[in-house]
Amino acid sequence: MTAKDKFLGEFEQFLLLSILKLGDNAYGSTIRQLLADIIKRDVTIGALYTTLERLEKKGLVDSKMGEVTQERGGRAKKYFKVTAKGEYALKRSKQALTSMWENIALFQLGLDS
Amino acid sequence: MNNSTTRIQQPPKIASKFLSWALPDYIREPVLGDLSEEYLQRIANNKLLAANYWYWRQAMKSGTQFMFKTQRGFVMFIFSILVFLGFTLMAMVLGGSIDIYIDAQSVLIIFPPAFAFTLAATSLKEVKQAFTILFGNDASQNVQAYKSSQRVFSVLGYTGVVLGMFMTLIGWVAMGTNMDDINAFGPAFAISILTLVYGMALKMLCYVAEQKIQTLSESNL
């Protein structure tokens, strides 16, 4: 990844962070529910998988098919894992945002930082 | 959990089928599984209506998102038919009234016989296959399947036109034998021409279907 590479989008960051938070239990349904619980965003499963596919193509996440369970109508889960490249992209985006936020105060909006 | 809850543990069938049709192969299983799992969780919280609404919303939004990629051929075909119907209706309205272009008898003597003749000339299997190829976008078909599907639409279209001509001529014969009632001549003539119009409309749709299959065969083989 070079300095000219684009930073991750907001939703891409949310997805990568969700996968990291969920650890070995990161698949479509759990990621969707985590996003709904923490950032109150009710994303459609289609939008979720479209972004995950894009991240996988970029080499930022890996996926593997899991076990078939009864409550899923006999359908397998697709587990996701953040790759080393994905972690680096996340750190890079966070550092860029932190740098941009330095010495910024949003008093006018009534926020204290 | 009571019996009624056990009975309704499957997500809404139509929504599920639509989503399954629209999704690409590589994510069909996990996506349907994820939705099914969350649907059951919502039902377990005694929120059946909300769970059904949620499932339909997810299926419709995600399905429409993917169908423009996975079922492009079908979507464009339906779109072209809707455009055709829209402009035809507009022309009819501008020409006076839609009523004068609708005649149930003419529909009945064109469409069902055309389909029956097509079934007789080909086979039920070939007809099913033709519609599957047309509305599907299944790249796994062979040359023979594409050719027989084109033949199905060719037979259907030509049969429609020939039936239209045939029925129009029968109408003219009937009119000729009753020429003394000049007041009945106009409406009878219009109805006799309508059968030909329906036959031509069927031929046109079949021509588009034939060309669509030709394009699919060229891109998939």
Segment A12-62, tens digit of pLDDT: 999 999 999 999 999 999 999 999 999 999 999 999 999 999 999 999 999
Quick one: how far is CA A83 from the chain centroid? 12
Which chain B positions have a beta carbon within 8 Å of A42's beta carbon? none
Residue B3, pLDDT score: 46
Nearest one of B114, B109, A5, B11 to B20, comparing CA atoms = B11
- Say how many CA atoms lie within 13 Å of A21 toward its Cβ: 14
Residue B4 lies in a domain: no
Nearest CB to B31 within list A33, A45, A69: A45
The CATH code of the domain that includes A67 is 1.10.10.10
Residue type, B177: T
Quick one: how far is CA A36 from the chain centroid? 13
Residue A8: pLDDT band by 50, 70, 90 thresholds? very high
Contact between chains at B37 and A65 (C-beta distance less than 8 A): no
Chain B CA closest to residue A70? B37
Last residue of a domain, one of B49, B70, B91: B70
Q: How many CB pairs (< 8 A) connect A and B?
A: 69
Q: Which of B25, B27, B45 to mutate to test the interface with A (most CBs of A within 10 A)?
A: B27
Q: Is A112's pLDDT higher than 60?
A: no
CA distances from B68 to B176, B209, B210 (A): 53, 19, 21
Torsion sign, CA atoms B162, B213, B71, B39: positive
Residue B2 lies in a domain: no
The SS3 of residue A81 is strand
Contact between chains at A72 and B33 (C-beta distance less than 8 A): yes
Residue A3 lies in a domain: no
Chain B CA closest to residue A65? B30
Contact between chains at B62 and A45 (C-beta distance less than 8 A): yes
Last residue of a domain, one of B70, B87, B112: B70
Q: What angle do CA A50, A55, A56 make, to 5 degrees?
A: 95
Q: What is the dihedral of CA A30, B11, B64, A37, to 10 degrees?
A: -30
Nearest CB to B34 within list A45, A47, A53: A45
| Angstrom distance (rounded) from CA B160 to CA B156 | 6
Q: Check if B214 contacts A (Cβ < 8 Å).
A: no
Q: Lowest-confidence range among A11-20, B124-133, B157-166, B178-187?
A: B178-187
Residue A30 lies in a domain: yes
Residue B6, pLDDT score: 47
The DSSP-derived string for B157-170 is HHHHHHHHHHHHHH
Structural domain boundaries enclosing A49: 10-109
Share of chain A above pLDDT 90, in %: 72
Q: Is A69's pLDDT higher than 90?
A: no
Average pLDDT, chain A: 89
| Angstrom distance (rounded) from CA B34 to CA B205 | 39
A58 close to A82: Cβ distance less than 8 angstroms: no
| Angstrom distance (rounded) from CA B145 to CA B126 | 8
Q: Tokens in use for A70?
A: 């009864």
| Angstrom distance (rounded) from CA B54 to CA B35 | 10
Q: Answer whether 0.90 is exceeded by the pTM.
A: no
Structural domain boundaries enclosing B21: 10-70
B185 close to B121: Cβ distance less than 8 angstroms: no
Q: Check if B58 contacts A (Cβ < 8 Å).
A: yes
Which chain B positions have a beta carbon within 8 Å of A76's beta carbon? 29-30, 33
Contacts (Cβ under 8 Å, ≥6 apart) of A46: B31, B58, B61, B62, B63, B65, B66
Look up tokens 């829209």; give the residue: B86
Q: Is B1's pLDDT higher than 70?
A: no
Nearest one of B27, B177, B211, B202 to A44, comparing CA atoms = B27
Nearest CB to A73 within list B27, B36, B61: B36
Residue A60 lies in a domain: yes
Last residue of a domain, one of B26, B42, B70: B70
| Angstrom distance (rounded) from CA B74 to CA B68 | 9
Does one domain contain both B135 and B41?
no
Residues in A whose CB is inside 8 Å of some CB of B read 27-29, 32-33, 44-47, 49-50, 53, 65, 69, 71-73, 75-78
Residue A4 lies in a domain: no
Residue B4, pLDDT score: 46
Q: Is B98's pLDDT higher than 90?
A: no
A78 close to B30: Cβ distance less than 8 angstroms: yes
